[in-house]
Each structure stands twice: as structure tokens, then as C-alpha cells.
Amino acid sequence: MTVAAPSGPLEGILVADFSRVVAGPYATMLLGDLGADVVKVERPGTGDDTRGFGPPFVDGESSYFRSVNRNKRAVSWDLATADGCRLAQALAERADVVIENFRPGTAERLGIGYEQVARLNERVVYCSVSGFGSSGAGAELPGYDFLVQAVGGLMSVTGDPGGEPRKVGVAVVDVLTAQFALSGILAALYERERSGRGQKVEVNLLLSLLSALINQASTYVTTGSVPRPMGNRHPSIAPYETLHAADRPFVVAVANDRQFSVLARLVGLDWMAADERFSTNAARVVNREELIRLLEEALRARAAAHWIDVLQAGGIPCGPVNDIAEAFALAERCGLSPVVRISADGASGVPADLPSGSNQVRNPVGLSRTPVTYRIPPPRHGEHSEAVEAELRG
């Protein structure tokens, strides 16, 4: 397959991707979207673990693998052999960015640890991704998203009060860690323009989650109070939750007193905005049970679709609880073109129909002069080994 030439703000940046599963590969896919030339190194045979995550499979490839591996060239090298290590070292020594999520000590044993690479490539930006840090008591612990959602506190604030703790329905900690890795890599590349030197970037799943817990984490570290699950309710804002209409629940996200005054008027409860129990957000949080009882008593008179139309017309943030198909349809109606198609020859465009094995979810970043590009569909295992090896020999 002919690979389209990279373009975009990171054109000319070579990325050696030794990572696997989600956090590292998602970060390198985003670098690829921005124009970097990403070389994904996989072990022979099984390749990246996510190649086996399924069903569903699309044209023999895991849809999970396809979600985080576009815009990459794939090589299959056995790093347990001298020849495989030699190729890996040669790639790392040429790379602008190296990213890995090996177990502690593995990169060094292979000759591609940070100190080893930096001695020969002082401009390298070297990113290590771990579950619980690369040193100390957490270094040997395996880092998996579900595990970190549990031990990192996210599951303790997700789900209904008194119910079983629940994970988020996607590998959100991996995604967050990938975003932190991306920001660290980009910052290091920017600093390199001043100093001429690279540096090591370290991210881990646990700290990424704790940082992303924002207000819940702040509640604990500033007051000592431990947050608990509240279902769809917000601990500090009301009404900011699902409310039940005559037929089904819908979401209302009232974030200030002006919005609440409008909401009260539109549902026929004008008096509530002047009632001291509900006139301020702090009062509404304290009196949440009575607040929701009164609102739902009024809302049960009509269907959710009616209230959504009325409230949206009044500027109140609200909407249905969509499934994923409905969410993509909403993005289409908003003119966001959320799906792109990458053909085998690297051509991309907006698909005419869904579903298709060539479809990819659009990168959400818009750049006016150097937009993201979609050049390479998720690669077959070892698809570009011959070409990359020839480049390293040249």
C-alpha cells in the first residue's frame, strides 16, 4: 500500500511507538493525526493485545484495535532476538519521540531505555507510560484501566447510592492518560526548539485519574470529606441531573440562578425562584429532595420531548439520554461531520453511509492552517516492516 506523505503541524516528526493496548497507542494516534510519522512496533504472532479484543471484528481486524491505531506504519519485530533489538535501537536513535509502556527494566534490557537512547540522541523526547509510576512501590503493579478505575476512586463515585460500584462504560482512564501524555510530549517538543535538547516525559494512570477527578478530589484534599456515589446527581449543583417526565427521564443541567428562574417559569413554578429554599444554588443543593419532588411533579404532566423543546427554546441546557447511534446523529445535525472514511490508498473523506469498516471517528481538534489528516488506515500486522527496515538501512 502506498502511504500518503505526512502533513500537518508535526510533519517531519518521527515517533517510535513501543506501546500497546490503549493509553500509549491513543496518544501516538493523535500525534499521527497531527502529521507525525508514527512507526508502531509489535511482537510477531499476536501483535498488540487489542488485535485480539473482540468481537466485533471488521474485515478480520478488531474494531477495538482500529479505534486507536490509524495514521501509523506497523512493523513486526521480535525484540527477544538480537536482530529485533538492533532494529528497535536504530529506530529509537533516529526518532524525535519514543513512547513505551514496558514493565520496569524491560526497555533498558532491550537497549532502548531513556538514558541509553538519549546518549546517542540528545534531542529525543522519551515518554514512559505506567500504571502506578515507574519507581517506588507501584512500579511492579500492572496498570489496566478497569483496575485503576477501582483503586483510583472513580468507581466509588460512580453508580447509585447504596448500589454496586460501577465503572465508566469506556476505558476513560486510558484516554485521560493518553491526553496527558500528548500534552507532555508537545510541551517537550516546544521546549526543544529553545534548548535543542529532549527530555523524559512520565505519565501514569493513577495520577492521571486523580487529577481528572477535579472537584471530587478537591473536596477530599481541602476538607477531608470523602465523596460518595450520587447516581446522576451533581454534588455541588442542583438541578443538574436526570428528571422524570411522563414517559422517560431526560437531563437538565441548570448551572446558575438565572437559568433556574427561567426553568421554574417554564414548568409553571414561577414562585420557586423567589423561595429562599431554592433561590440560590447553595440552597437548592441543601434542599435537593424537595426541589426534585416539586419539579418532577410538574414535569410528569407531559412527555420528555415536549419539555425538551420548551426548555431548549428558553435557553435551558437539557436533552435526552441518547445511545451512541443517536449521539452520532446529533453530531451530524450539528454539522460536525463526526465520521471520516480512510480508504486503502490513504484517501479520506466524509462517508456517505454507515456502517463501514473504513470509517473512523473524527479527531475533535480543528486547526485553521494545518488541519489534522487521515492518511493511513489502521495497519495490518507487520504491514510496513519491509519499508521501515529499508529506511533504517539507508
Q: Where in the sequence numbering do the catalytic residues fall?
A: 174
Amino acid identity of residue 327, one-letter, is A
Count of CB atoms situated within 10 Å of the CB of 194 = 7
Cell numbers at residue 378, please?
Answer: 489502521
Q: What is the DSSP letter of 370?
A: S
C-alpha cell at 75: 512493523
225 CB neighbour count, 10 Å cutoff: 9
Please give the single-letter amino acid code of residue 204: N
What separation in angstroms does the CA of 214 have from each of 51, 182, 207, 232, 274? Answer: 33, 19, 12, 17, 32
Residue 119 exposed, middle or buried by CB count within 10 Å (0-12, 13-18, 19+): exposed
Whole-angstrom CA distances from 233 to 160, 242, 251, 272, 393 are 9, 7, 10, 20, 59
Inter-CA distances, 390 with 35, 74, 77, 112, 160, Å: 22, 14, 14, 20, 56
Element (H, E) at 220: helix 214-223
CB 339 within 8 A of CB 328: yes
